């Protein structure tokens, strides 16, 4: 329609009204867009100039590089840690509060009913109650510095009440002042991330009830296949657990991350006799939930006794992984067995007042709490505690009908994590470092060490319970008999340690770190050891290591399990040209999971169908879902080991499909699975096999709970395009994917560092997202490409080098008293 015709149809007055409406809508849209930009940008921190804050005694300089990494220089320790709290709050305030509210069982206050299952479990376990006990018993020095750190957070909070990150505004949450108990609670939450044995006890008991002990050992093989479960006669059938599910624990894992996948990490240290520089080189990468923002934050702290650079945890003072002027350290998760389930006899399952122990009835402790839930009435929660711990299954959906079970965890009330972190930061040699780790009781870790004098070392840390011989720690045990009580803890002096070994290097990757002659049971659930084997092979092959060589190892995507299992695939006779092409691609494959290769996709899809066709028909539907597809085992940590053993016997009974009259063999299952794998790939990724690259099917999507609530604003604010990922579940460069949603990657190397002790300014580091947690901030995602490409940023420590790399300098000054 022409302009003239429009005027004739509407008339001058109506046309004017229409124009005004259109202009009003445009103005409104511009205002809304500007408001949105203002809401997003207003919390971006001041990083240059001068800023007065109350509580400081002297000025503090904060020098940031182009990546937003701050180096803090203070004249005394109080101001140093106060400034670190301030800096953490500048970049990560929202995630800090989200984490501590989660740990405190208060997630429902933010997200409503979605957070209630997690709140119930974490209130019952009592992470915050344990934090309150730890704060009350903390040594004075650590108390002073932790309080200074909290004062820095609150100084930022008080100065920015009307200028907080957009999440606070959208959710209508007004943050309370930060306390030391908040920091300790977050530390306890991280220990919960890294400990998951109780869930395996649940799963193992259910499998025993369904398929018996021997088949359960096949599916959940211990590191030592001869290890007995030692099932107590009193509960041998575990019949009450057979049909329960894991829905409640799955909800918990959405907040905490999958415990099974959290057991990853690599670290190693190479002596100067095997390096180009003649000094040790230390490397490490921790495998965690790939969240937005990253769990880690690069930071340097310089003042008083402290002169450290490395990876910090916003909400926690000090440097957790890195170096000071004399020593360097890196960690991997030990995964010790520090949790047990005790089946209890109660006088009343619904509202118990007593529990039985050695023929007598004891009063049960009742803790009454109230959980606030956004837009709902508060939910009362009664927590029932025996001498073994809180009754846990009554707050986990699908488990309430099982026998009452108390959750015993060595961490609760026993941790001195913050004292250990601070003492480790100031340690100047091996003896002081080991003494600092005496207080690091939870989470259990493998520490590797190097110093500028050329020494290397290893120290295990954990509070490992000593169990009686009849208690394997693998299955729930009776709590009423008194026969399965812990007999104290392994003395620190008897935990494994190594200093300057003759082979010239030390490497750990969650593998078994003690020999069979070691007198104490650490765990029977070590990682299979594929990454440790590969790291060792690569270190042995090179006696002239430098930083680049260590970075190359961190990027290695070779798969030992694929090497072990491919042999059986290649023996299959193809039934058509498509199968022949697939087998040929597997034959030519170099066994590296690189994003541009198709063979890795063929292997993993084939394996996915093989293990389902082998195992699913032998389990009841609920157990099949939880074992094959469920949250705990969906990454394949156990079933890859089980399948490797089963595949050695072509006539193993597991291959026989119970639903057919024929007796199937290994080759029958392999043949069937190959056809199914190719059909699935065509259906989901197109007919062109060239498009089935590993990067097209194996991608990272950064996890954020608020983005998954269905709120379109958060979905838009947090949106990060999926990233083509390298590696697989058992390669050094771990690209941990799920078989539940093939092959979406959720976990991986959350950070990496390489430190040459000949020049601490040459430290190379990266983590998985960026320094900032603020929406749309340039430093929110600017490390992602480097992280994915195994590239690093410099992390110097000397003032001279830091100033050379400076992009901005902020001076904090004491605020004049009024």
Span 306-361, pLDDT tens digits? 999 999 999 999 999 999 999 999 999 998 999 999 999 999 988 999 999 999 99
Residue 253: pLDDT over 80: no
**131-134 contact pairs (CB < 8 A, 24+):** 131/103, 131/181, 131/182, 131/184, 131/185, 131/187, 131/188, 132/181, 133/413, 134/184, 134/413, 134/415, 134/416, 134/418
Residue 179: pLDDT over 90: yes
pLDDT in tens, 396-409: 766 667 789 999 99
Please compute the mean of the pLDDT values over residues 16-37 and round it to a whole number. Answer: 54
Token code pair at residue 418? 């913050």
Residue 696 neighbours by CB under 8 Å, 6+ apart: 601, 685, 724
Position with higher pLDDT, 392 vs 3: 392
Q: Is 746 helix (H, G, I), strand (E, B) or coil?
A: strand
pLDDT band at 133 (very low <50, low <70, confident <90, very high): very high
Distance CA 509, CA 501 (A): 18
Which of these ranges, 233-242, 264-273, 284-293, has the smallest mean pLDDT?
233-242
341 φ, ψ to 5°? -110, 130
Position with higher pLDDT, 415 vs 156: 156
pLDDT of amino acid 395 = 85
pLDDT of amino acid 753 = 98
pTM summary value: 0.91
* DSSP tag of 708: G
Please compute the mean of the pLDDT values over residues 264-287 and round it to a whole number. Answer: 96
Compute the CA torsion angle 287, 289, 290, 293 (nearest 10 deg).
-110
Position with higher pLDDT, 746 vs 134: 134
Distance CA 237, CA 312 (A): 47
Measured between its terminal Cα atoms, the distance across the chain in Å is 70
pLDDT in tens, 665-724: 999 999 999 999 999 999 999 999 999 999 999 999 887 767 666 677 777 777 788 899
**Three-class DSSP labels, 409-421:** ECCCCCCCHHHHH
Neighbours of 731 (CB within 10 A): 25
pLDDT of amino acid 414 = 65
Residue 196: pLDDT over 90: no
pLDDT of amino acid 257 = 54
pLDDT in tens, 563-601: 999 999 999 999 999 999 999 999 999 999 999 999 999
pLDDT in tens, 91-105: 999 999 999 999 999
Please compute the mean of the pLDDT values over residues 435-446 and round it to a whole number. Answer: 93
pLDDT of amino acid 261 = 42
pLDDT of amino acid 262 = 45
Residue 515: pLDDT over 60: yes
The partner residues of 283 in beta bridges, in order of sequence, read 268, 754
756 φ, ψ to 5°? -95, 120
The partner residues of 287 in beta bridges, in order of sequence, read 749
pLDDT of amino acid 221 = 77
Which of these ranges, 191-205, 264-278, 411-425, 663-677, has the smallest mean pLDDT?
191-205
Distance CA 648, CA 354 (A): 52
Please compute the mean of the pLDDT values over residues 202-206 and round it to a whole number. Answer: 80
**Quick one: what percent of the chain has pLDDT higher than 70?**
87
H or E element: which one contains 592? Answer: none
What does the DSSP assignment read for 78-96? HHHHHHHHHHHHHHHHHHH
Residue 227 neighbours by CB under 8 Å, 6+ apart: 472, 474, 524
Q: Is the dihedral of CA 773, 774, 778, 781 positive or negative?
A: positive
pLDDT of amino acid 260 = 47
**Nearest CA among 473, 452, 451 for reference residue 464:** 473
Please compute the mean of the pLDDT values over residues 123-133 and round it to a whole number. Answer: 94
For the chain, how big is the Rg over CA atoms in Å? 28
Cβ-in-10-Å burial (0-12, 13-18, 19+) of 24 comes to: exposed
**38-42 contact pairs (CB < 8 A, 24+):** 39/166, 39/169, 40/166, 40/717, 40/774, 40/775, 40/776, 41/776, 42/163
Which of these ranges, 295-304, 507-516, 541-550, 673-682, has the smallest mean pLDDT?
507-516
The number of CA neighbours under 13 Å toward the Cβ of 300 is 31
**Nearest CA among 191, 288, 333, 297 for reference residue 746:** 288
Strand pairing category for 477-478 and 339-343: parallel
Residue 654: pLDDT over 50: yes
Distance CA 310, CA 766 (A): 10
Angstrom CA distances, 600 to 84, 583, 588, 644, 647, stand at: 44, 12, 11, 17, 19
**Nearest CA among 407, 480, 403 for reference residue 243:** 403
Compute the CA torsion angle 258, 393, 524, 534 (nearest 10 deg).
0
Residue 31: pLDDT over 50: no
pLDDT of amino acid 208 = 82
Distance CA 480, CA 206 (A): 21
Mean pLDDT of the chain: 88
**Quick one: what percent of the chain has pLDDT higher than 90?**
68
Residue 737: pLDDT over 80: yes
Distance CA 148, CA 152 (A): 6
Position with higher pLDDT, 394 vs 73: 73
pLDDT of amino acid 34 = 47
Distance CA 561, CA 529 (A): 10
């Amino acid at each position: 329609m022409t302009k003239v015709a429009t005027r004739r149809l509407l008339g001058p007055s109506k046309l004017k009204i229409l124009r005004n409406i259109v202009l009003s809508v445009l103005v409104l849209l511009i205002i809304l867009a500007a408001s949105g930009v203002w809401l997003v940008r207003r919390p971006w921190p001041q990083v240059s100039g001068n800023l007065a804050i109350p509580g400081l005694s002297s000025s503090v300089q904060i020098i940031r590089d182009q990546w937003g990494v701050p180096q803090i220089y203070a004249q005394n320790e109080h101001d140093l840690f106060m400034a670190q709290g301030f800096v953490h709050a500048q970049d990560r305030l929202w995630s800090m509060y989200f984490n501590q509210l989660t740990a405190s069982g208060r997630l429902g206050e933010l997200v409503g009913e979605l957070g209630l299952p997690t709140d119930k479990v974490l209130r019952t376990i009592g992470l915050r109650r344990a934090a309150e006990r730890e704060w009350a018993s903390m040594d004075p020095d650590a108390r002073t510095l932790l309080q200074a750190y909290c004062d820095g957070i609150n100084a930022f909070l008080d100065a920015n009440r009307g200028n907080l990150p957009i999440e606070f505004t959208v959710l209508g949450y007004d943050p309370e002042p930060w306390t030391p108990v908040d920091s300790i609670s977050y530390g306890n939450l991280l220990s919960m991330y890294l400990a998951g044995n109780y869930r395996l006890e649940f799963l193992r008991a259910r499998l025993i009830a369904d398929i018996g002990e021997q088949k359960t050992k096949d599916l959940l093989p211990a590191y030592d296949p001869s290890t007995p479960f030692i099932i107590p006669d009193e509960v041998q059938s575990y019949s009450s657990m057979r049909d329960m599910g894991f829905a409640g624990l799955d909800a918990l894992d959405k907040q905490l991350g999958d415990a099974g996948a959290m057991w990853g990490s690599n670290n190693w240290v190479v002596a100067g006799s095997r390096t180009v520089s003649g000094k040790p080189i230390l490397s490490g990468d921790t495998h965690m939930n790939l969240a937005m923002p990253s769990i880690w934050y690069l930071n340097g702290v310089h003042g008083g006794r402290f002169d450290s650079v490395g990876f910090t945890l916003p909400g926690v003072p000090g440097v957790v992984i890195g170096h000071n002027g004399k020593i360097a350290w890196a960690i991997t998760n030990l995964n010790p067995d520090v949790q047990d389930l005790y089946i209890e006899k109660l006088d009343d399952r619904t509202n118990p007042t007593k529990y039985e122990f050695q023929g007598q009835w004891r009063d049960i402790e009742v803790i009454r709490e109230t959980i606030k839930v956004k837009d709902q009435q508060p939910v009362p929660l009664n927590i029932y505690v025996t001498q073994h711990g809180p009754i846990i299954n009554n707050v986990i959906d699908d488990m309430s009908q099982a026998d009452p079970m108390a959750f015993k965890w060595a961490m609760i009330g026993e941790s001195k994590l913050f004292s250990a972190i601070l003492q480790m930061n100031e340690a100047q040699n091996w003896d002081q470092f080991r003494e600092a780790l005496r207080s690091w009781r939870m989470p259990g870790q493998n520490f590797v060490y190097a110093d500028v004098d050329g020494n290397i070392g290893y120290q295990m840390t954990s509070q490992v319970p000593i169990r009686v011989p009849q208690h394997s720690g693998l299955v729930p045990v009776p709590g009423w008999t008194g026969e399965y009580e812990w007999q104290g803890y392994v003395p620190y002096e008897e935990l494994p340690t190594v200093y300057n070994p003759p082979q010239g290097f030390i490497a750990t990757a969650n593998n078994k770190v003690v020999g069979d002659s070691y007198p104490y049971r650490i765990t029977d659930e070590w990682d299979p050891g594929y990454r440790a084997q590969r790291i060792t092979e690569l270190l042995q092959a090179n006696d002239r290591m430098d930083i680049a060589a260590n970075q190359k190892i961190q990027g290695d995507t070779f798969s030992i399990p694929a090497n072990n299992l491919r042999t059986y695939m290649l023996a299959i006779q193809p039934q058509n040209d498509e199968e022949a092409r697939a087998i040929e691609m597997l034959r030519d494959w170099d066994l590296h999971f690189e994003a541009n290769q198709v063979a890795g996709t063929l292997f993993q899809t084939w394996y996915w169908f093989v293990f389902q066709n082998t195992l699913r028909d032998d389990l009841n539907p609920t157990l099949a879902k939880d074992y094959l597809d469920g949250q705990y085992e969906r990454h394949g940590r156990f079933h890859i080991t089980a399948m490797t053993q089963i595949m050695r016997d072509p006539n193993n009974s597991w291959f026989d499909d119970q639903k057919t009259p024929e007796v199937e063999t290994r080759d029958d299952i392999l043949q069937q699975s190959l056809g199914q794998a190719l059909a699935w790939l065509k259906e989901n990724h197109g007919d062109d096999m060239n498009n089935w690259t590993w990067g097209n099917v194996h991608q990272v999507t950064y996890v954020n709970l608020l983005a998954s609530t269905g709120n379109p604003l958060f979905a838009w604010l947090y949106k990060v395009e999926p990233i083509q990922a390298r590696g697989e579940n058992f390669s050094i460069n771990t690209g941990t994917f799920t078989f539940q949603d093939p092959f979406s990657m959720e976990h991986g190397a959350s950070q990496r560092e390489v430190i040459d002790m000949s020049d601490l300014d040459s430290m190379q580091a990266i983590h998985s997202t960026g320094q900032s947690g603020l929406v749309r901030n340039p430093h929110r995602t600017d490390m992602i490409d480097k992280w994915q490409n195994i590239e690093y940023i410099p992390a110097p420590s000397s003032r001279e080098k830091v100033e050379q790399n400076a992009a901005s300098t902020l001076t904090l000054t004491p605020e004049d008293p009024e």
